[in-house]
Amino acid sequence: MSATNASDLYCSQYRHARDDKGRLQVPSRWRNGEAETCLMVIEWKEWIDANTSHPCLLVVPPAVWERLVESLKALPFGDPISQKKRRLVGKRSQRVAIDKAGRINIPDEMLQKVGIQKEAIFVGLLDRFQIWDPDRYKEIDSEDDKFEAEAFQSL
């Protein structure tokens, strides 16, 4: 198992407003300089139950994206389920660059699909992070809180 640098971890949560050009500021603690000039943004759905989904954006750094791509490439090309997986990830992902000021410009269409308008909540998932509409995040956050005791049992 390889050691993980503190700068490679996405911990905590942050709230940022979109700027006048629609860009979002990546939290400074989550920026790793030259090593993370590009991120992949994927439309994602958090499921509370079979009938309720909460869409957000999943952001993965280059190393995580490369592992995902390699796992998808290893799937049988002629298998219909494998094709669906590749197609879904391919059409719901977008490569974005972190500019010198630490901002990313996510396409408006992706932001609209997950309900992000003026502000966004960035939530760390250790090796990746999510970007949420604040109102949608409140719902999922209250569901997460119900799971807190079980989640921390493994520590």
Instruction: State the number of CA atoms in the 13 A half-sphere of 112 facing the CB.
Output: 3
| Mean pLDDT lowest among 13-22, 38-47, 123-132 | 38-47
For residue 18, give both structure tokens. 């979109």
Q: What pTM, to 2 d.p., does this model score? A: 0.85
More confident residue, 87 or 39: 87
More confident residue, 62 or 32: 62
Q: Is the pLDDT of residue 2 over 50?
A: no
Q: Is the pLDDT of residue 66 over 50?
A: yes
pLDDT in tens, 75-132: 999 999 999 999 989 988 999 988 888 999 999 999 998 999 999 999 999 999 999 9
pLDDT band at 151 (very low <50, low <70, confident <90, very high): confident
Radius of gyration of the chain (CA): 16
Q: How far apart are CA 3 and CA 108, in angstroms?
A: 37
Provide the 10 A C-beta neighbour count for residue 11: 13
Q: How far apart are CA 128 and CA 60, in angstroms?
A: 5
Domains, the chain, ranges and CATH?
10-147 (3.40.1550.20)
Q: Is the pLDDT of residue 51 over 80?
A: no
User: Which candidate, 10, 17, 38, places its Cα nearest to that of 111?
Assistant: 17
